């Protein structure tokens, strides 16, 4: 069975996509430990059973808001086979921010370029192939309200489920020499702690630590030795001072 999760900004048509994919076979529960609603459904495509979980709609994946934390924990801890990132094609600039965060998490990503009809109506042209190449993941245009492109989306989900996340996508997230250096320095230390690396992607951990993410820092304090923690804090401090 393929485990897929849907994520996207609010109001991009995520619910319509979810309904289109799963039809009536939905059940509603809660994410463990919190009261955020968890909708899940199933479908069969090309003889493969796919379970789809609808994650809360968010703009970002910080540790501040409950729903963002839920979405992010689900992605890093449950490791679904495929993450479908639903993006409003008429508003790529804003929507791709979440995509960037998902790429950092090493998620096995399919980008669903929704509202494709509106994109055309505005006379905008998007080079889907190039976008796919730059992001390092498949990009599928869809129109959720009519169901156009849904078959392609299902195909992409099945196709990518078996594969590992493409490594080439690192190119999509080159954050500049100064930041990249800081990231590798922190990664260097994290690598030695199997307790963390078995659960989380190293690069993501490094970035989150550098960003001072509360939830990740809490994890770090629990699993790092005091000298390791001191080293990381030292890197953060130096980085903080160097970047104005």
Partner 1 sequence: MSEYAENLRSAFAQRRYERIASIVDSTVIKGRGEIFTLTDMLDQVFLNKHLGIPIFLTVLWTMFQFAFAVSEPFVVIIEKIFEMLGAWSGQAISDPHLASFVSLGIFGGLGSVLVFIPPIFGLFLALSVLEDSGYMARAAFVMDRFMYRLGLHGRSFIPLMIGFGCNVPAIMATRSMDSEKDRMITMLINPLISCSARLPVYVLIAGALFGAAYAGTAIFAVYALGIVLAVATALIFRRTLFRGEPSPFVLELPPYAVPDASSSILHMWSRGRMFLKKAGTIIFGMTIIVWFLSTHPWEETSGGQVIAESYIAWIGHAIEPVFQPFGWDWMAAVALLFGLVAKEVVVGTYGVLLGAEEAGLGEALVSQELFTPLTGFAFMAFVLIYVPCVATIGAIAKETNSWRWPAFALVYQTALAFIVSGVIIAAGRLVGLS
Residue with tokens 């989900």: 157
Q: Does 230 bind partner 1 (CB under 8 A)?
A: no
Tokens found for residue 113: 């370029």
Angle of CA points 135, 139, 141, to nearest 5°: 145
Contact between 16 and partner 1 by CB under 8 A: the answer reads yes
Residue from 49, 163, 175, 199 that binds partner 1 (CB under 8 A)? 175
Q: Is there a contact between 5 and 53 (Cβ–Cβ < 8 Å)?
A: yes
Of 25 and 225, nearer to partner 1 (C-beta) is 25
Is 234 a binding residue for partner 1 by CB under 8 A? The answer is no
Query: Which of 121, 148, 159, 188 lies at the binding interface for partner 1 (CB under 8 A)?
Result: 121
Q: Which residue has the tokens 């509603």?
A: 28
23 backbone dihedrals φ, ψ, rounded to 5°: 60, -130
Beta strand 109-114 pairing with 2-8 = unpaired
Which of 72-80, 114-122, 152-160, 195-203 is the region at the interface with partner 1 (rule: CB under 8 A)? 114-122
Between residues 58 and 156, which has the closer beta carbon with respect to partner 1?
58
CA distance 119 to 143: 10
Q: CA triplet 194, 207, 243: central angle to 5 degrees?
A: 140
Which of 47, 167, 174, 227 contacts partner 1 by CB under 8 A?
Answer: 174
DSSP string across 24-58: T-EEEEE-TTS--EEEEEEEEETTEEEEEEEPPP-
The site map against partner 1 for 62-101 (x = CB under 8 A) is: --xxxx------------------------xx--xx--xx
Residue among 73, 65, 89, 88 at smallest CA distance from 5? 73
Please say whether the dihedral angle defined by the alpha carbons of residues 180, 181, 183 and 187, taken in this order, is positive or negative.
positive
Query: Rounded to the nearest whole angstrom, what is the least distance from the CB of residue 42 to partner 1 in the complex?
Result: 16
Tell me: does residue 134 bind partner 1 (CB under 8 A): yes
Place of tokens 């934390």: 69
Q: For partner 1, what does the binding mask look like between residues 30 and 69, x meaning CB under 8 A?
A: -----xxx--------------------------xxxx--
Q: Report the interface residues with partner 1, using CB under 8 A.
A: 10-11, 15-16, 19, 24, 26, 28, 35-37, 64-67, 92-93, 96-97, 100-101, 118, 121-128, 130-131, 134-135, 145, 172-176, 179, 182, 207, 210-214, 217, 236, 239-240, 243-244
């Amino acid at each position: 069975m393929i485990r897929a999760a849907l994520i996207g900004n609010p109001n991009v048509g995520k619910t319509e996509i979810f309904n289109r994919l799963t039809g009536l076979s939905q059940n509603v529960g809660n994410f463990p430990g919190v009261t955020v609603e968890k909708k899940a459904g199933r479908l069969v495509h090309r003889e493969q059973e796919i379970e789809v979980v609808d994650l809360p709609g968010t703009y970002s994946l910080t540790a501040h808001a409950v729903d963002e934390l839920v979405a992010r924990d689900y992605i890093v801890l449950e490791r679904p086979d495929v993450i479908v990132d639903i993006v409003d094609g008429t508003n790529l600039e804003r929507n791709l921010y979440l995509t960037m965060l998902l790429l950092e998490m090493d998620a096995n990503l399919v980008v669903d370029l929704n509202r494709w009809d509106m994109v055309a109506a505005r006379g905008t042209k998007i080079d889907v192939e190039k976008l796919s190449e730059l992001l390092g993941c498949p990009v599928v245009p869809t129109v959720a309200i009519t169901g156009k492109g849904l078959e392609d989306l299902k195909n992409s989900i099945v196709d990518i489920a078996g594969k590992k996340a493409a490594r080439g996508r690192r190119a999509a997230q080159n954050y500049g020499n100064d930041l990249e250096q800081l990231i590798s320095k922190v990664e260097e230390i994290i690598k030695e702690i199997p307790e963390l690396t078995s659960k989380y992607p190293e690069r993501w951990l490094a970035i989150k630590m550098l960003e001072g993410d509360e939830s990740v820092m809490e994890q770090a304090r629990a699993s790092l030795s005091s000298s390791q923690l001191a080293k990381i804090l030292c890197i953060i401090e130096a980085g903080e001072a160097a970047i104005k």
